[in-house]
């Protein structure tokens, strides 16, 4: 199988490295032939080391894609518009596609997947979600005998690292972020990760695969982790829970409930112990019961390894005739999921109020809970943090989010409340 | 794809149930056609309910297999000799095979896999190991860009249930076994499970897939769990560890190190928290890093769901031309792995000695350790359990097993030692 690769950065370089090491073994042991026919990057400088090794190289992805001898496009350049054009051109000319670009798939998958189905081509994207965890393959193939009822996942290594360090080392959010940046686990501009956008891209793809409906990442509720304080982390510990940023999919009568937000995960749940940059996907299926997969979520070789696994799968079909591509034509705007609005979801809630040390404030707060018909599971009144301030933590019983939002609005309007109140959902 | 199914028991019945519920969705959504062309069991009585529903049924598997219109044999009858004959006949006539029969594959896979490769047929066996965990697919396809360096797995629900209950509820082995039997998690004759034979079948299959060499289950070291005492479980807790029956594969210069035995798993290791009948496979790969997959290890619908997933995979290739079967011809006796003898492995060891309360016995024991050049990491001398007996727990530093075996032999020969000494390896 003749491969055209675009992008020689971290992951692209890793793919070349693995193919150099393993192509012979794949030929001999699996009978598949993975040939790097052309390596393409933006500049001559970037492709020079590969040219020096004897590879055919290019700085013009479109010409490479126009070469009829290329059978599969591996897109590892990143970005949105160029990959969209390359992949469209590749599919139009009957080429298969392997990509790790979750952002682009979340944004343009609704165009590309139907085009692929129309052209009888595969788009494989195992590396786009969960790096080294074979979760796409598991949902598309391994769990096909079962219906996914619930999925919760830790799929952003940056956020998981920050929250883990806040939990283990009692760091503030800011210090944990600085540490993550120093270790290369967070970008200089970390917004995309810490505000949950990356998790939303991946959650939208997973929720689409689980539901068989197109889930638009721009329409799902997203809350990041930058508002989580050291105090919340310590309070979670007292409540026997660990705060994690989760992507969630819940099959519901009302439609697709997909969202990204921090959760208090009970410490006896397997996800509570998935720490640092490790990713995890927890699934509850009707026939299969609960399953968990954990592994490296990012990094050069784990991600490259997932790309290479897709190439081997592709070669196993294309080198020996034809395998029915996984139909993904349903991933289109006409088949968009009806999303459950966040106000209509329900959970147990962790609520933290910072009040002036005034008599009667606890009575006001519990009164507002009562007016909104929210049952309280427990209340912890903490010692004064800042002089003149009291921290009150309330855990609600399971209730609807709109009741909580209404209560929070009323509570934040109280004169005795000193800061915007904190709200974090429990996973269970 | 026309399916001939043998075996209408727990799993077979589950497969029929899932296909009845999902065949239409598979046709409409995945474009694959799964048709139960014939259902076969030993007696007319067993097939009667299916006949009544309008299925073609048979009590003669060989005649069913001789039907040229049947394209795939699903073998869910269990046993050794009959399935071996059926599968051989099916492969000889160019039929693909899906089976959940790990015992038969461990015993006769070295005949059947090469025959399948010769005939260009698939043998799919996702349901044979880890029930609902798609571990075969993960190793064969998802992790193909990586080399497995270490695998440790909990793959026998009976043993994991017993050990979990001993740990959580302080039960004796005998009481935990009785409870497992009462709940249907253990057979009336539990030997096959508790002595580790079932784990050895599965470990041999996994070690074969990881190494690309045939691993004979009869040649791997197997220790079961019946010798684990409540005292060992409590001592493990003090050592911050949990005792689990593990199947192990370690890639080694000396060959394939594959074995089944209880291990003290450190409590911060993900496997330590996999409890009750849940199965788990932990893998350490060169490019991918560590991954863990957990899920239901057995049960009607989880196992049936894995069989159905194999059928969908098969139909995706056979309904649309041909997909290169995963080459398994290497699974033969000529390509047998060189196994690392257990004496040549190394570990940290938990050793428990029951001694008569005699002066000097600790000195004798530590003297023997010293003679065998075994370094001691810690010693716990426990209060008297039975009158006149003392329990001494020694944790060794990492050392070779032959040194430990030599020391144990010498220690068990001491007059002051009242019972055969206990030895359990640490995972790390």
pLDDT at residue A385, rounded to an integer: 63
| Chain B hits for A145, Cβ within 8 Å | 18, 22, 304-309, 312
Inter-chain residue contact B134 with A138, CB threshold 8 Å: yes
**B287: closest CA of chain A, how far (Å):** 5
The CA distance from B74 to B311, in Å, is 9
ipTM attached to this prediction? 0.84
pLDDT at residue B383, rounded to an integer: 67
Taking residues A60-72, report their average pLDDT.
97
* CATH number of this structure's domain A136-297, picked from the four choices 3.40.50.12160, 3.40.225.10, 2.170.120.12, 3.30.360.10: 3.30.360.10
**B335: closest CA of chain A, how far (Å):** 13
Residue B337 has pLDDT above 80, yes or no: yes
Q: Does A330 touch chain B (CB under 8 A)?
A: yes
Other C-beta atoms within 10 Å of A306: how many? 37
Return all residues near B275 (Cβ < 8 A) that are at least 6 apart. Answer: B160, B164, B167, B168
Q: Which of residues 32-71 of B touch A (CB under 8 A)?
A: 32
Where in chain A is CATH 3.30.70.260?
A: 343-426
Residue A375 has pLDDT above 90, yes or no: yes
Where in chain A is CATH 3.30.360.10?
A: 136-297
Contact yes or no for B368/B286 (Cβ under 8 A): no
The CA distance from B245 to B200, in Å, is 11
The CA distance from B61 to B81, in Å, is 13
| Chain A hits for B137, Cβ within 8 Å | 134, 137-138, 141-142
Residue B327 has pLDDT above 70, yes or no: no
Q: What are A168-223's pLDDT values in tens digits?
A: 999 999 999 999 999 999 999 999 999 999 999 999 999 999 998 999 999 999 99
Return all residues near B221 (Cβ < 8 A) that are at least 6 apart. Answer: B259, B260, B261, B342
pLDDT at residue B381, rounded to an integer: 84
Q: b/e string for B121-156 if b means 16 or more Cβ within 10 A? A: bbbbbbbbbbbbbbbbbbbbbbbbbbbbbbbbbbbb
Q: What are A18-27's pLDDT values in tens digits?
A: 999 999 999 9
Q: Which residue is listed with tokens 């023997």? A: B368
Q: What are A123-168's pLDDT values in tens digits?
A: 999 999 998 899 999 998 888 889 999 999 999 999 999 999 999 9
Q: Under CATH, which number does the domain A2-131+300-335 receive?
A: 3.40.50.720
- Give the residue, A359 or B398, on which the prediction is more confident: B398
Share of chain B above pLDDT 70, in %: 96
Taking residues A324-344, report their average pLDDT.
78
Q: What are B251-277's pLDDT values in tens digits?
A: 988 889 999 999 999 998 989 989 999
Report the range of poorest mean pLDDT among A34-43, B75-84, B281-290, B377-386: B377-386
pLDDT interval class at B15 (50, 70, 90): very high
| Chain B hits for A32, Cβ within 8 Å | 324
Taking residues A401-411, report their average pLDDT.
97
pLDDT at residue A133, rounded to an integer: 92
Counts of helices then strands in chain A (DSSP H, E)? 14, 18
Where in chain A is CATH 3.40.50.720?
A: 2-131+300-335
Q: Does B309 touch chain A (CB under 8 A)?
A: yes
Residue A273 has pLDDT above 80, yes or no: yes
Identified catalytic residue from B102, B107, B202, B244: B202
Q: What are B23-34's pLDDT values in tens digits?
A: 999 998 888 899
CA distances from B353 to A152, B349, B381, B382, B413 (A): 46, 13, 10, 10, 12
Out of A29, A304, A313, whose CB is closest to B141?
A313
| Chain B hits for A307, Cβ within 8 Å | 145
Q: Does B31 touch chain A (CB under 8 A)?
A: yes
Taking residues B186-202, report their average pLDDT.
95
The CA distance from A149 to A60, in Å, is 45
Element (H, E) at A294: strand A289-296
Inter-chain residue contact B305 with A31, CB threshold 8 Å: no
Query: Which residues on neighbouring strands pair with residue A262, listed in sequence order?
Result: A245
Where in chain B is CATH 3.40.50.720?
A: 2-131+300-333
**B428: closest CA of chain A, how far (Å):** 19
Query: Which residues on neighbouring strands pair with residue A250, listed in sequence order?
Result: A150, A257
> DSSP for B247-263?
EEEEEETTEEEEEEEEE
Q: Does B323 touch chain A (CB under 8 A)?
A: yes
pLDDT interval class at A318 (50, 70, 90): confident
* Terminal Cα distance for chain A, rounded: 47
The CA distance from A360 to A128, in Å, is 52
pLDDT at residue B322, rounded to an integer: 59
Q: Does B308 touch chain A (CB under 8 A)?
A: yes
Q: Does A316 touch chain B (CB under 8 A)?
A: yes
Q: Find, in chain A, the residue whose alpha carbon is nearest to that of B141.
A: A309
Tokens of B356: 């008569």
pLDDT at residue A321, rounded to an integer: 56
Residue B209 in 3-state DSSP? helix
CA distances from A134 to A60, A139, A152, A157, A297 (A): 32, 9, 16, 16, 11
The CA distance from B37 to B76, in Å, is 16
Q: B2-131+300-333 has which fold? A: Rossmann fold (3.40.50)
Q: Does B22 touch chain A (CB under 8 A)?
A: yes
Contact yes or no for A206/A129 (Cβ under 8 A): yes
pTM of the model: 0.89
pLDDT interval class at A424 (50, 70, 90): very high
pLDDT at residue A330, rounded to an integer: 77
Question: Class of A343-426 per CATH?
Answer: alpha beta
CA distances from B7 to A285, B74, B89, B198 (A): 25, 8, 17, 20
pLDDT at residue A325, rounded to an integer: 59
Q: Does B28 touch chain A (CB under 8 A)?
A: no
Q: Find, in chain A, the residue whose alpha carbon is nearest to that of B11.
A: A287
Active site residue A202: yes
Task: Using CB atoms within 10 Å of the CB of residue B397, give its burial: 0 to 12 exposed, 13 to 18 middle, 19+ buried.
Answer: exposed
Out of A212, A270, A305, whose CB is closest to B287?
A305
pLDDT at residue A111, rounded to an integer: 93
**B96: closest CA of chain A, how far (Å):** 16
pLDDT at residue B254, rounded to an integer: 86
The CA distance from A158 to A161, in Å, is 5
Residue B325 has pLDDT above 70, yes or no: no
Residue B9 has pLDDT above 60, yes or no: yes
Return all residues near B35 (Cβ < 8 A) that are at least 6 apart. Answer: B1, B2, B3, B23
Q: Does A308 touch chain B (CB under 8 A)?
A: yes
Inter-chain residue contact B320 with A322, CB threshold 8 Å: yes
Q: Find, in chain B, the residue whose alpha carbon is nearest to that of A304.
A: B145
* Terminal Cα distance for chain B, rounded: 47
| Chain B hits for A132, Cβ within 8 Å | 146, 285, 287-289, 291
Contact yes or no for B167/B237 (Cβ under 8 A): yes
Residues in chain B: 428
Residues in chain A: 428
Task: Using CB atoms within 10 Å of the CB of residue A93, give its burial: 0 to 12 exposed, 13 to 18 middle, 19+ buried.
Answer: middle
**B312: closest CA of chain A, how far (Å):** 8
Residue B324 has pLDDT above 60, yes or no: no
The strand ranges marked E within A23-168 are 35-40, 57-58, 72-75, 96-99, 123-124, 148-154
Q: Which of residues 163-222 of A touch B (CB under 8 A)?
A: 212
Between chain A and chain B, how many beta carbons pairs sit less than 8 Å apart? 196
Mean pLDDT over the full length of chain A: 93
């Amino acid at each position: 199988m003749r491969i055209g690769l675009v992008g020689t950065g971290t992951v692209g370089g890793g793919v070349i490295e693995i193919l150099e090491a393993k192509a012979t073994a794949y030929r001999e042991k699996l009978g598949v032939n993975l040939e790097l026919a052309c390596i393409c990057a933006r500049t001559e400088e970037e492709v020079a080391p590969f040219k020096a090794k004897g590879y055919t190289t290019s700085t013009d992805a479109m010409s490479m894609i126009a070469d009829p001898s290329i059978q599969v496009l591996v897109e590892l350049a990143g970005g949105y518009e160029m990959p969209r054009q390359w992949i469209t051109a590749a599919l139009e000319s009957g080429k298969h596609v392997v990509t790790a670009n979750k952002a682009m798939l979340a944004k343009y998958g609704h165009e590309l997947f139907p085009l692929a189905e129309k052209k009888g081509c595969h788009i494989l994207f195992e590396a786009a979600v969960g790096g080294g965890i074979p979760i796409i393959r598991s949902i598309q193939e391994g769990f096909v005998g079962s219906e996914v009822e619930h999925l919760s996942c830790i799929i952003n290594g940056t956020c998981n690292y920050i929250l883990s360090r806040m939990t283990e080392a009692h760091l503030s959010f800011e210090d944990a972020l600085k540490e993550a940046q120093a270790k290369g686990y967070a970008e200089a501009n970390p917004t995309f990760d810490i505000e949950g956008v990356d998790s939303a891209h991946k959650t939208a793809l997973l929720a689409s695969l689980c539901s068989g409906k197109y889930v638009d990442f721009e329409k799902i509720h997203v809350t990041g982790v930058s508002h989580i304080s050291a105090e919340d982390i310590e309070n979670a510990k007292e409540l026997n829970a660990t705060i994690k940023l989760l992507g969630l999919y819940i099959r519901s009568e009302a439609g697709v409930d997909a969202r990204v937000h921090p959760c208090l995960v009970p410490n006896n749940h397997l996800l509570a112990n998935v720490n640092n940059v490790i990713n995890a996907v927890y699934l509850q299926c009707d026939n299969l019961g609960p399953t968990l997969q954990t592994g490296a979520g990012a990094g050069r070789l784990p991600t490259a390894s997932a790309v290479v696994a897709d190439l081997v799968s592709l070669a196993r079909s294309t080198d020996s005739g034809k395998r029915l591509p996984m139909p993904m034509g349903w991933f289109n705007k006409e088949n968009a999921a009806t999303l459950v609005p966040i106000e209509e979801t329900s959970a147990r809630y962790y609520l933290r109020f910072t009040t002036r040390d005034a008599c009667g404030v606890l009575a006001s707060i519990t009164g507002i809970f009562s007016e909104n018909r929210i049952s309280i599971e427990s209340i912890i009144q903490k010692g004064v943090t800042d002089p003149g301030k009291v921290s009150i933590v309330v855990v609600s019983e399971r209730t609807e989010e709109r009741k909580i939002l209404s209560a929070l609005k009323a509570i934040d309007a109280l004169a005795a409340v000193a800061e915007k109140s904190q709200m974090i959902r429990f996973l269970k």
